[in-house]
Structure 1
Amino acid sequence: MAKTLIIAEKPSVAQDLARALGKIPKKGDHFENDEYVIASAVGHVVELEMPEDIDKKKYGFWRLETLPIIPEKFGLKPIADSKDRYNQLKKLLNRKDVDAVINACDAGREGELIFQNLYQLAKSKLPVKRAWMQTMTTEGIKEAFRNLRDGEQMAGLADAARSRSESDWLIGINGTRAITKRMFGSRGGNVASVGRVQTPTLAIVFNRELEIRNFKPRDYWRVTAKFEIEKGTYEGVYQRPNFKKDANEEHDRIDRVWEKEKAEAALAACQGQPRAAVSEEKKSSSQASPRLYDLTTLQREANGRFGLSAKRTLQIAQALYERHKVITYPRTDSRALPEDYVATCKETLGKLGGDLGKHGRTVLEKGWVRPNKRIFNNAQISDHFAIIPTGTEPTHLDEMESKVYDMIARRFVAAFFPAAEFDITTRISRVAKAHDFKTEGKVLTAPGWLAVYGKTTVDDSADAKALPALTSADNAQARTISAELHSETTKPPPRYTEASLLSAMERAGKLVDDEEMAEAMKERGLGTPATRADTIDGLINQKYLERQQRELVPTTKAESLLQFLSAVHADALTKPDMTGEWEFKLRQMEHGKFARRDFMSEIVEVTKRMVDRTKNFEEDESNSRVTDIISPTDGQPMVETLRGYKSQDGILMIYKVMSGRKIEEAEVRELIEKNEIGPLDGFVSAKTGNRFPSKVKIVEDEKNPGRKKAELDFGNKVDLHTLDPFWTDPKTGAELCEAPTSYVLRERDGDGWKETFKV
């Protein structure tokens, strides 16, 4: 009897499928009965071939002359660590009793790529169906298998997945090799990694750092006054008369006085406890509940509330979805639900327990679940809808899983509650007929959705300001009882946190507050909800960014890279909006609205242009500077270039970045004067990422006779002739020796030895 092979993305999902589809028994590494064979990948088991796989002799060493590398057709290979799993899946795909295959990998671009690469490399011809699972509950799995999609329906998603992978390869491989060779030459261990998404993301953070560095603080003054009426006292803030915001001063506010004399005049008017004429305006205001979570919003809020990294939040959400089955698919960019989900939401609300169960019952009793475009909107859903609870009771959650689940479930319940309502009072107290002081009061009158978060009609929020009421006895006047002058200074923009960087990535570097505008810009964001956490994590692991408390700070390595990219006009790597346009085209491709051929042609042209500019770049006066540091080789001032400080005779070069540490100009000056400096702290091991101290010395450049260079000196220079080998390579004669603090591989060099590797 013919069977259908089901391929899941990971073993835990295969186990869930086997349980949901009829308690299918395990047979070796897979599950099998008379109808199904269920097996799993372990994430990606197949990857694109690297340049050295294509032609080891030509591409094994990084050379500018071999760039750009543009494969006519991208080859695939099993990932080394997953080769056994690949062979197992290939064997199952080729079984004679298997006549169809169901792709049950994650319902998204990466899940599609995992399956498509495996299917292609295994050269399978089996007809394909797609299981598109929104939840991992038993009913959710059965629903997906009752509504299998044809393989042809997934062609657009498969094209987008391959195009994303191949475009990252083209820009990443070519950009990294070209820029590394131009920035570092043959200095081993130094890699300038670049990427289609990671580099514009880095540029966003670095540009903010430049804004902070270049920020010029400006003094201003604020005047506050305390007033007394029959029912009590209140404080007001001075407002500049006839205020019109200065377009050239982004920090201009109505309560900021730039001239001290004017602030002092307002202060003087308040002396002697004068009477102030009081007028006020009252209005009602409402605040709608926040929209349901997509992944990026969840990551941002979890970072702000609990300090969780974007990657950690995704891991927790994935566990809540896969292992605990208490939320829907988390890797989504939608904040809406399908329009036919009204009944499902009612059912889910009825299943919630505890404190949320009480609020859920209120929603059902009041009939608040009804068609509403803010919640139920097919136009705002692509492949997945917003993250909501499934109704499955959460048990055995750890502390952070409980907190993230509560965020999701509480937001879901609150979405159906009415708006919170406030009374807002704006009071103006005018002193000496010319100086206005503004006071605002805000009182919660109906909690609405805030009740789900513990708020009552007695406003206990931090921003609650209940003003003492004016009465007829006051005769619309108050007594000025004190005033104070505050001297303040404008502040630079804050550094990015993971929360604010996720927002910037979602909108391609454009930070906006308006919800509707933000929704419209999502399609042109950097990366996808599923990949942004890994992008930030990758920048940290590659030492481009550092976490300082919750702030993300670019390193000297990042600064050197972006300065070089700017000099060679590599716009494709530094402009977030260009990468955002590519992401938009990939999304269009998913829906058959943009051709894969056109997208890849554009990427190839951008790659060629980037490599050409990098290879042909020549440093000139526009990106160099003559210093007052006198070179010992020719007695002339040294020239600062993008990469370092060089003598005009070309004999001496001191690179700006050595082992991940920037060498400051003052340190270069001392190094030239003394021929050595240090030990200096802050060097970073390329292998371990650990920081270490080292001296820096000027030495002869052994690879370029007649030239000099600066290099790290650990004070333990090894005499290769004195070492005893404990292993010899039978093919090359190279010998592995143990030195006092390292292992050294040495090779014959004429009558002596040369070091080829040390660890």
Structure 2
Amino acid sequence: MTKTLIIAEKPSVAADIAKAIGGFTKHDEYFESDDYVLSSAVGHLVEIAVPEEYDVKRGKWSFAHLPMIPPHFDLNPIAKTESRLKVLNRLIKRKDVDMLINACDAGREGELIFRLIAQYAKAKQPIKRLWLQSMTQGAIREAFKQLRGDEEMMPLADAARCRSEADWLIGINGTRAMTAFNSKEGGFYLTTVGRVQTPTLSIVVEREEKIKQFVSRDYWEVRAEFVCAAGIYEGRWQDPQFKRDETDPEKRAERLWSRAAAESIVAACRSKTGSVTEESKPTTSAAPALFDLTSLQREANARFGFSAKNTLGLAQALYERHKVLTYPRTDSRHLPEDYLGSVKETLAVLSENNNYQPFSSQILNKNWVKPNKRIFDNSKISDHFAIIPTTQAPKNLSEPEQKLYDMVTRRFMAIFFPPAEYQVTTRMTEVSGHRFKTEGKVMTNAGWTAVYGREALSTNEEGQTSGMLVPVAAGEKVRTEDVNANGLVTKPPPRYTEATLLSAMEGAGKLIDDEDLRDAMAGKGLGTPATRAATIEGLLSEKYLLREGRELMPTAKAFQLMTLLRGLGVSELTAPELTGEWEYKLAQMERGRISRDEFMREIAQMTQIIVKRAKEYNNDTIPGDYATLVTPCPNCGSVVKENYRRFACTKCEFSIGKTPGSRQFEVAEVEELLSNRTIGPLQGFRSKMGKPFAAILRIARDEDLNNFKLEFDFGQNNGDSEDGEPVDFTGQTVLGPCPKCGSGVYELGLAYVCERSVLRPKGCDFRSGRIILQQEILPEQMVKLLNEGKTDLMPGFVSQRTRRPFKAFLVRGKDGKVSFEFEERKVKPGGAAKAAAKAGKAGADDEADADAAAPARKASAAKTAAKKPAAKKAAAKKTAAKKTTASKTAAGKTAAPRKAVAKKAA
């Protein structure tokens, strides 16, 4: 009797299939019934092998064996999962197995996992495909009734293989070529590149370059308050002659570019009367489309701060383990046209949940589930449809899982509701020939927004209708009560978050918010919804990007790679649009419109170009916009020039690396360093563990080499060493009285110190850092702290624990120690307790990072220690002694030596 072997992607899916079909007996690593043998992979089990003749057993990579374009791709087992591969290999070779069913995830990667296993095992049996959109038992049984033929799946299999082989060719050849190039002068400087990874990085680097090059411009806005019989309203001055200037996108109708112009408007309008005209018209807002994976990741990042990787993991668990969501790795935001009945079944299940019952019942009762191309459209679906809830009720979800499930479920219900309706009023107030614009938007019908808890004509804390303008009678003259010119500055473009980077990847480098435009770019993005999270995580793990709160920041390593690729002219790896075209062709291949051979020929050509340009490049430096410094060489007085790797003297051996501590020098900083022999404190340096730190940089003479060298000075030992030179504060300005002894406080290195702290013997121990949690404490703020007891509210502190910025005051304690104080938070009536608890938790988190709550914690620790045995009390006392206040933390008290020679950058 013959049997069919079913291969799932994961053991949990195999168990679900066994339960749904029934009749299986469990063995160690597989299930078996009268008709089936059922087992699973554990993700990828094999990988493309480097051909033996190209593998470097010893020594560094070179151009000798590049490019590597083998005539066929051999496979090697992945070591950690080889035992599972042996199980599947044995089952495939069973004499009673005469057919295979691919039950791996329904997508490109699932297809690849199965095909490579079958290739490695040299399987000769015919193949069928189980295509699962949902993991409920009913959906599994239904999918078994509609198994797909192997011929139907070949285009997807070809695209899967092409994606894998293209990434291997570009990754292996590009990485080895760039590493060989960067290692020419010795050492081994690993420089990884990738077909999707590197163009994605270029998007972030280009944005950071725009931020660095951005020059803020002052501008003014004039705002006025107008009094009418019914009350007061505000207006903003507008230029009626304004026309959009494509060459200067910072220009706006409300912006004035000189203070004098703004003040003249203020003078002309002050205390004058004005006439009013207004236009009011209704408008509607439709519910957002259903989620695909990318939009789900964007929304979850924006709302909850979830990374793209975490969101994918949660969605996969909700699909696979809990079976409450449909297949998440989808690029579609529509449902099949025959899915109306399934939607109604899902809504009926949601009606049993108190959180969703009012909305799901309303949809069913009012028969709002109808054919609608915005929701049900077969032409907008390739293999998978939008992410929606299933007919399985959720149980035992974790908090993050519940948040994601709720987000998907409310989006699902909202799309069947009618549009939200608003009344939009635009009021123009003319005073002395100047026009002021006022807008009001009032919701008249909540429509789909009711699903999110919004009500029509919602009221604010004062009981006034949100967005409602006070009425002005026809012909009524209003009086200008208050008018001011507000000075502002233009801001650079924001850094990418994971949410905005996912959008840029989806549009091949162009941020696309417009739904129709996004549809037009569909398939031409970088990577696929299923791979974009892994691409971002790869850039983070390779230290090309850093997470700072929710922002993604390129490192010096990223800038150096982009300079190299641009200098070599390898646009294939730096142009997101070009790589987006490759991804588009893969999508076309899935639909059978492009051949595998045609695509791989283009990838081979791309590989040849990348290697050729790196291999044949013989110049001393990489082309770039390099600077010639004004300040002469400190060693011989000759000219210092920038090159790809260093700032080097044109005559002698003096040079300094461009990226000490993974922080890239700006030209102006190098000028200052060479001129003064010191600079700082500078922020943005990174330790080998990736931790940020601040330091002073000095150029010191190396007597052994008769040259100069670059040193870090962390400043923690200034004045502390018994054999150090005495510190002389002559000529320096005293900032204020020491809070501990009343003597003068001065600036010294990375700290503000009491003048008696540098005496021998030490007369005082007051010291406060010039950098506290990445916030520079300027001298004027230290003056306020010492003389008034408190600084201004400063917004630039960054939590060491959460990496998120926070605002705080620095305050002087009675004991002379410096600590944090947080601003009071405005609390809505009735919500004081809840808000206070929340604020307290947030404050405690920040204080824990900065040790600002040290006295409170020490008191608590003392009470606890008193109840414990003497040995534990001693240990607790020893631990408490290590804790410091904000001032000591910021002053850089570490075990590191005072100075360390900066290592040369690659």
Shorter-chain TM band: 0.7 to 0.9
Q: Letter of the aligned partner of 1:384 in structure 2? A: H
Q: Letter of the aligned partner of 1:275 in structure 2? A: T
Alignment correspondent of 1:167: 166
* Deviation of 1:241 (Å): 2.5
Alignment correspondent of 1:484: 484
Partners of 2:583 and 2:436 lie apart in 1 by 49
Partners of 2:460 and 2:158 lie apart in 1 by 50
CA contact (8 A) 2:634 2:674 kept: no
Q: Letter of the aligned partner of 1:329 in structure 2? A: Y
2:318 is equivalent to residue 282 of structure 1: no
Partners of 1:275 and 1:679 lie apart in 2 by 54
CA gap 1:186/1:103 in 2 versus in 1, 3 angstroms: farther
Instruction: Find the residue that maps to 1:346 and give its secondary structure.
Output: helix
* Deviation of 1:54 (Å): 4.8
The root-mean-square deviation of aligned C-alpha atoms, in Å, is: 3.1
CA gap 1:396/1:577 in 2 versus in 1, 3 angstroms: same
Q: Letter of the aligned partner of 2:154 in structure 1? A: A
* Deviation of 1:699 (Å): 13
- Residues 128-527 of structure 1: matches in 2 within 5 Å? 128-185=127-184, 187-188=186-187, 190-272=189-271, 274-352=272-350, 353-432=353-432, 434-460=433-459, 464-471=466-473, 475-527=475-527
* Deviation of 1:511 (Å): 1.5
CA gap 1:683/1:244 in 2 versus in 1, 3 angstroms: closer
Q: Letter of the aligned partner of 2:274 in structure 1? A: A
Partners of 1:70 and 1:302 lie apart in 2 by 41
* Deviation of 1:347 (Å): 1.1
Instruction: Find the residue that maps to 2:598 and give its secondary structure.
Output: helix
Q: Which range moved further: 227-236 or 161-170? A: 227-236
* Deviation of 1:153 (Å): 1.0
CA gap 1:387/1:54 in 2 versus in 1, 3 angstroms: farther
Q: Letter of the aligned partner of 1:423 in structure 2? A: Q
Partners of 1:71 and 1:186 lie apart in 2 by 30
CA contact (8 A) 1:671 1:698 kept: no
Alignment correspondent of 2:604: 604
Alignment correspondent of 1:642: 644
Identity %: 49
Q: Letter of the aligned partner of 2:472 in structure 1? A: L
CA contact (8 A) 1:363 1:369 kept: yes
Instruction: Find the residue that maps to 1:243 and give its secondary structure.
Output: coil
* Deviation of 1:246 (Å): 2.3
Partners of 1:658 and 1:271 lie apart in 2 by 56
Partners of 2:656 and 2:412 lie apart in 1 by 59
Alignment correspondent of 2:743: none
* Deviation of 1:275 (Å): 2.0
**TM-score of the two chains, using structure 2 as the length reference:** 0.73
- Cα deviation, 1:416-435, whole Å, max 9, x if unaligned, reads 00001011111111112x11
Which structure 1 segments of 5+ residues have no match?
A: 701-705, 715-759
CA gap 1:471/1:658 in 2 versus in 1, 3 angstroms: closer
2:37 is equivalent to residue 56 of structure 1: no
* Deviation of 1:265 (Å): 2.5
Partners of 2:636 and 2:256 lie apart in 1 by 56
Partners of 1:243 and 1:681 lie apart in 2 by 41
- Cα deviation, 1:364-409, whole Å, max 9, x if unaligned, reads 1111100000000111111100000002111100111001000000
Alignment correspondent of 1:582: 582
- Cα deviation, 1:719-742, whole Å, max 9, x if unaligned, reads xxxxxxxxxxxxxxxxxxxxxxxx
* Deviation of 1:670 (Å): 6.6
Q: Letter of the aligned partner of 1:478 in structure 2? A: V
Instruction: Find the residue that maps to 1:164 and give its secondary structure.
Output: helix
* Deviation of 1:44 (Å): 0.3
Partners of 1:269 and 1:663 lie apart in 2 by 49
CA contact (8 A) 2:337 2:371 kept: yes
- Cα deviation, 1:616-675, whole Å, max 9, x if unaligned, reads 222469535544676799875444211224455796765434674546776799799999
* Deviation of 1:258 (Å): 1.9
Q: Which range moved further: 300-309 or 189-198? A: 189-198
CA contact (8 A) 1:654 1:709 kept: no
Q: Letter of the aligned partner of 1:39 in structure 2? A: S
- Cα deviation, 1:566-595, whole Å, max 9, x if unaligned, reads 111110110000000000000001111011
CA contact (8 A) 1:190 1:659 kept: no
Instruction: Find the residue that maps to 1:327 and give its secondary structure.
Output: coil
* Deviation of 1:543 (Å): 0.8
Partners of 1:650 and 1:5 lie apart in 2 by 72
CA contact (8 A) 1:58 1:66 kept: no
CA contact (8 A) 1:678 1:696 kept: no
Q: Letter of the aligned partner of 1:178 in structure 2? A: A
Instruction: Find the residue that maps to 2:484 and give its secondary structure.
Output: strand
* Deviation of 1:262 (Å): 2.7
**TM-score of the two chains, using structure 1 as the length reference:** 0.87
- Residues 88-127 of structure 1: matches in 2 within 5 Å? 88-127=87-126
Q: Letter of the aligned partner of 1:613 in structure 2? A: R
- Cα deviation, 1:14-67, whole Å, max 9, x if unaligned, reads 11111111152211111111111111101000000035x454358974012321
Alignment correspondent of 1:539: 539
CA contact (8 A) 2:647 2:656 kept: yes
Q: Letter of the aligned partner of 1:453 in structure 2? A: Y
Partners of 1:501 and 1:383 lie apart in 2 by 25
Greater relative contact order (CA < 8 Å, ≥ 6 in sequence): 1
Partners of 1:112 and 1:221 lie apart in 2 by 59
Q: Letter of the aligned partner of 2:129 in structure 1? A: R
- Cα deviation, 1:534-558, whole Å, max 9, x if unaligned, reads 1111111111111111111111110
CA gap 1:270/1:639 in 2 versus in 1, 3 angstroms: closer
Partners of 1:346 and 1:137 lie apart in 2 by 16
* Deviation of 1:458 (Å): 2.6
Q: Letter of the aligned partner of 1:141 in structure 2? A: I
CA gap 1:661/1:622 in 2 versus in 1, 3 angstroms: closer
CA contact (8 A) 1:136 1:328 kept: yes
CA contact (8 A) 1:6 1:101 kept: yes
Partners of 1:655 and 1:388 lie apart in 2 by 53
Q: Which range moved further: 263-272 or 340-349? A: 263-272
Q: Which range moved further: 16-25 or 122-131? A: 16-25
Instruction: Find the residue that maps to 2:294 and give its secondary structure.
Output: helix
Q: Letter of the aligned partner of 2:306 in structure 1? A: L
Instruction: Find the residue that maps to 2:438 and give its secondary structure.
Output: strand
Which structure 2 segments of 5+ residues have no match?
A: 714-906
Instruction: Find the residue that maps to 1:427 and give its secondary structure.
Output: strand
Alignment correspondent of 1:703: none
Partners of 2:17 and 2:403 lie apart in 1 by 28
Partners of 2:325 and 2:684 lie apart in 1 by 47
Partners of 1:259 and 1:430 lie apart in 2 by 21
Instruction: Find the residue that maps to 1:522 and give its secondary structure.
Output: coil
Q: What is the number of residues matched between the two proteins? A: 701
* Deviation of 1:709 (Å): 12
CA gap 1:530/1:264 in 2 versus in 1, 3 angstroms: same
Q: Letter of the aligned partner of 2:144 in structure 1? A: F
Instruction: Find the residue that maps to 1:66 and give its secondary structure.
Output: coil
CA contact (8 A) 2:632 2:640 kept: yes
